[in-house]
Amino acid sequence: MGEEVTIRMERVGTMMMMMMMMMIPHVHGATSRIGCLDNDGNLVDWFFTYKLPGGYQFAYADSNTGSVRTQMLQVYERQLDDKDKPVALIQTLRSLLPSISNRSDRTYFMYNDQPDNAKPSPSYAHAKGVVAMDGDGSDAVWILHSTPHFPAPSGSGKFYFPEAEITYGQTFLCMTLRDNAVDSISSQLRVIAPYVYFSNVASSAKKANPNVAAVLSKNFTKDEETSNTKTFKVGSHTFKSFAKSKRWDSDLYEDLIAPSLKSGLLVETWMRGSELGPYCPSKYDYAVTDVSNLQAFGPDGSSKVTWSEGGDHSKWAVEIKGTSQVCVGDTNRMSTQRTRGGGAVCFAHSGLWHLLNNSVVGADAC
């Protein structure tokens, strides 16, 4: 009889403990290393978010996405303004806050040519991004994106996507950086000269990462007539960063990326009357042309959503032939962008390449 009572009490105690644990809010990444978080709050090497024009809908892929040759972009079941269950981009941004991460050594800086707290001169790069790190920067995150006035410098709840920016399509590439790659990436930022509108990076992190410190103090690369290419690891994959200064005075896509990949490019960027038009052989070494119309499957996987280049502020490219290289950037393919610093990141991923390439339903041709 005594044993039965003891067992019952143990069971009741266990059940009460389980119920109490269920009542405690789950905070993703509370004790984990910094990194990109997927739509369920799990660490991933990288993710790509494509916000569609005219709302909060988006398509999504990450380092776990497989390759289906016939698949195209598909609208995700949740939206960017979901506050009950925030999606990958918002979860990752909010994980930078000590109140969410429970880490006092997690710091970050944000750069944007159109922040909501300043009006930078055109001498700064046409570039937007977030760089965050734990401690001395051995673990870090780099988010490269295309959205003006985002994220808000105040952080907190304003890391949610702003209603004022839902009109146009936008792209976001999040990359998890390890082994102090953040300082190498920051050397590329020194080439493009971004406008940093917020930073809480600790002095110890600056000391450990001299290029981070240089970016934050506006100590940009002295040779302004330069471009640079640098490889870095994201998980087991090799990524390549392309950077150009404001005085390089050449096209990022035709003159820097295409020769490096040894392939022509299909490019989607903002143009607005300053488009370069198709670059075709034999006048140019590689065929580089612009996307005009796109489509994606709706959340049900059968209906379709369509949009045109004029409503899309995203910046990406896919190689025409080769190893399924995808590029995500911050620079437009426009004549006016030759006098602005900027760049892109390219990497091989068959799954994302097919999603983007198959979504193109109209483009210039050579």
Q: Which of 8-17, 125-134, 245-254 has the lowest mean pLDDT?
A: 8-17
Residue 72 confidence (pLDDT) above 90: yes
Q: Is the pLDDT of residue 185 over 90?
A: yes
For the stretch 100-117, pLDDT in tens is 888 889 999 999 999 988
pLDDT of residue 15: 41
**pLDDT given for residue 32 in this prediction:** 82
Question: If you average pLDDT over residues 343-358, what whole number do you get?
Answer: 97
Report whether pLDDT(222) > 90: no
Provide mean pLDDT across the span 128-156.
Answer: 93
Q: What is the mean pLDDT of residues 72-99?
A: 95
Average pLDDT over residues 265-290: 92
Q: How far apart are CA 151 and CA 93, in angstroms?
A: 8
> Which of 132-136, 181-185, 271-275, 297-301 is least confident?
271-275
- Amino acid making up residue 307: W
Burial 169-193 (b: 16+ CB within 10 A, else e): bbbbbbbbbbebbbbbbbbbbbbbb
User: Would you say how long the chain is, in residues?
Assistant: 366
- Domain coordinates of the chain in residue numbers? 36-363
Q: What is the pLDDT of residue 155?
A: 66
Mean of pLDDT over the chain: 90
Least Cα distance to 321 among 293, 283, 275, 281 occurs for 281
Q: What angle do CA 127, 163, 313 make, to 5 degrees?
A: 35
Least confident of 81-90, 94-103, 151-160, 283-292: 151-160
Q: Is the pLDDT of residue 25 over 50?
A: no
pLDDT reading at 273 higher than 90: no
Two structure tokens written together for 84: 């009950």
Question: Rounded to whole angstroms, how far apart are CA atoms 273 and 358?
Answer: 26
